[in-house]
Amino acid sequence: MQLPQLRTPFTRAVVPVAAGIGFIAVLGLIMWGVAAWLSGDGTRVTLGDTRFEIGRVDRLADSIAQHGPQLYADLKDSSGKRAVVVDHTGTTDAKGWAVYRPVPASDPTGTCLAAQVHDSRRFTDCNGNDVDVTALQPAPDVRVIIEDGTVLALEFAEAVDTGS
Per-residue pLDDT of the chain (164 residues; tens, 9 = 90+): 787 888 899 998 999 999 999 999 999 999 999 988 887 776 666 666 788 899 999 999 999 999 999 999 876 667 667 889 999 998 899 899 999 999 998 888 878 889 999 999 999 988 888 999 999 999 998 999 999 889 999 998 865 444 44
Residue pair 153/145 in contact by the 8 Å Cβ criterion: yes
Closest C-alpha among 68, 91, 89, 95 to residue 152: 95
CA separation, residue 10 to residues 6, 7, 14, 144 (Å): 9, 9, 6, 72
Question: In this structure, is residue 122 part of a structural domain?
Answer: no
What is the rounded distance in angstroms from the CA atom of residue 126 to the CA atom of residue 121? 17
What is the rounded distance in angstroms from the CA atom of residue 132 to the CA atom of residue 137? 11
Please tell me the predicted confidence (pLDDT) of residue 6: 84
Question: In this structure, is residue 86 part of a structural domain?
Answer: yes
What is the rounded distance in angstroms from the CA atom of residue 119 to the CA atom of residue 6? 81
Question: In this structure, is residue 30 part of a structural domain?
Answer: no
Question: In this structure, is residue 111 part of a structural domain?
Answer: no
> Cα-flanking dihedrals φ and ψ of residue 4, to 5°?
-65, 145
β partners of residue 84: 72
Question: In this structure, is residue 22 part of a structural domain?
Answer: no
Question: In this structure, is residue 1 part of a structural domain?
Answer: no
Please tell me the predicted confidence (pLDDT) of residue 162: 45
Question: In this structure, is residue 131 part of a structural domain?
Answer: no
Domain count, the chain: 1
Domain that holds residue 154: 49-102+137-161
Question: In this structure, is residue 71 part of a structural domain?
Answer: yes
